[in-house]
Structures are given as structure tokens and as C-alpha cells.
Amino acid sequence: MHLLIPAAGSGRRMGSDRNKLLLVVRSKPIIAWTLLAAEAASQISWIGIISQPLDWQDFQTILTQLKQSSPVELIPGGSTRQESVYNGLQALPDSAKEVLIHDGARCLATPDLFNSCAQAIQHCPGLIAAVPVKDTIKVVDENGIIQSTPDRRQLWAAQTPQGFDVKLLKQCHTEGVRQGWEVTDDAALFEKCGFPVRVVEGEETNLKLTTPQDLAIAEFILKTRLG
């Protein structure tokens, strides 16, 4: 299974002036933990890391230290996640019929989650890992007034990995560019084009490291896991 890792963001919300994926948690850069989990998943045979060329030297150093056995390719990132994934899709080898996409910032996803998504994508055109929300979610307008309270039983928090039929996802990204759609995950493009996306059970610990508090939580989870 081919895996694309969008890793071309900044560190703005993390309060860092560099790519947050190069920040260190429990003695390794965040992206190294993501790569270790992907590499440990038996179903993953090729990895494309989508990142800004100014970070490539740092990524190369990390890859050398990890001694990855799967082929890893560096692909230039775009100015949004959507553009980065678009670039990644163009760089996939022709042999890729399905693809998993996993945010570099979700460094706590387990190899089991990669494997279960890789297996499930053989049976449907699109899927995402997700977990049922625990909070009651409100839809709020620009004046801070609640507009509605959706039924919590129908709400899931989207994670990655997300898996897709490559041909269909390329089609959806092209349509997204044509229509000017701006989305924060690939499933949204698939949905907008009318294709079904299945939810598979994600992991509560599969956080997207976004703020400094998330670093402390990741540190704690990795310590608990690895001792």
C-alpha cells in the first residue's frame, strides 16, 4: 500500500517559527514518530513525504537515522494541505491503485490503525479513521450565538489515515481546483463529488499535534506506551 504523508505545514499554531514536525517529543522529531509507526505497519510498502524543499535536508537526516526499509520519496509541498496532497497524488507511482493519506502531525497513530485502513480500502472507494465525539457540539454564528445543536450520536471526529481509490481521488482534487473548493481533509472532496466515504474506528490517542499543550500530551502518551 502506498502512503502519502502531508508534512509541509508551518509551526504557527504551535508557536514555532519552523515546521512543527521537526520539533522534538520524547527525544525524536514528531515526523520520526509518524514514520516509525508507518514503517512498522506490514501493509505499507512505499512512503511519500510531502514537505517544503527548505526542510528536505532535515527530513533526509531523519530518514538516514531511522534506516527506513520502505522506499521513501520527498515530494514538494503546496501552500495549503489540499495543494500538498494534490502534489503528492501526482507523484504516486502508476502502480498505486489505492492510497492512504496520513497527516505527519498525527504521530501517535499505531501500526495496527495503518494496517486496518489498508485492508478496509480494498473493499470501498473511500474511508477515514474517526472517533465518536464526546462533547456536545454547537453550530455558532459570527456573533457568537448558537444556531443549532446537532445530534451527537451522528457526530464523529475525523482523523487520518484516510484511504481512497487513487483514480477517483485525483478526479476529486481536480474538481476541487476547478470549483475553488477549500477543504481541510480529502474525504470532504470525495463527499462533495458524491462518492461514499466509510468511517472506520480510529484511536482516541491519535491526536493531531497542533498546540504546545498537545506536545505535552504526546510526551505523556509515548512515555506510557514505551516506558
- Render 82-136 in DSSP notation, one character per residue: HHHHHHHHHHS-TT-SEEEE--TT-TT--HHHHHHHHHHTTSSSEEEEEEE--SP
Of the two residues 50 and 63, which places its CB atom closer to ligand C5P in the complex?
50
Of the two residues 10 and 179, which places its CB atom closer to ligand C5P in the complex?
10
Rounded least distance, CB 140 to ligand C5P, Å: 20
Rounded least distance, CB 83 to ligand C5P, Å: 6
Coil, strand, or helix at residue 61? helix
C-alpha cell at 114: 495503518
Taking the C-alpha atoms of residue 130 and residue 203, their distance in angstroms, rounded to an integer, is 7
Strands, E assignment, 133-192: 139-140, 146-148, 156-165
Cβ neighbourhood burial of 147 (10 Å; 0-12, 13-18, 19+): exposed
Rounded least distance, CB 85 to ligand C5P, Å: 7
Of the two residues 84 and 206, which places its CB atom closer to ligand C5P in the complex?
84
Rounded least distance, CB 21 to ligand C5P, Å: 6
Interface ranges with ligand C5P (CB under 6 A): 6-9, 21, 50, 77-81, 84, 103-105, 208, 210
Rounded least distance, CB 86 to ligand C5P, Å: 10
Of the two residues 79 and 154, which places its CB atom closer to ligand C5P in the complex?
79
Rounded least distance, CB 82 to ligand C5P, Å: 8
Nearest to 108 by CA among 48, 31, 51: 31
Of the two residues 79 and 196, which places its CB atom closer to ligand C5P in the complex?
79
β-pairing, 126-132 vs 156-165, is: antiparallel
Peptide bond into 212 cis (omega under 30): no
Of the two residues 91 and 124, which places its CB atom closer to ligand C5P in the complex?
91
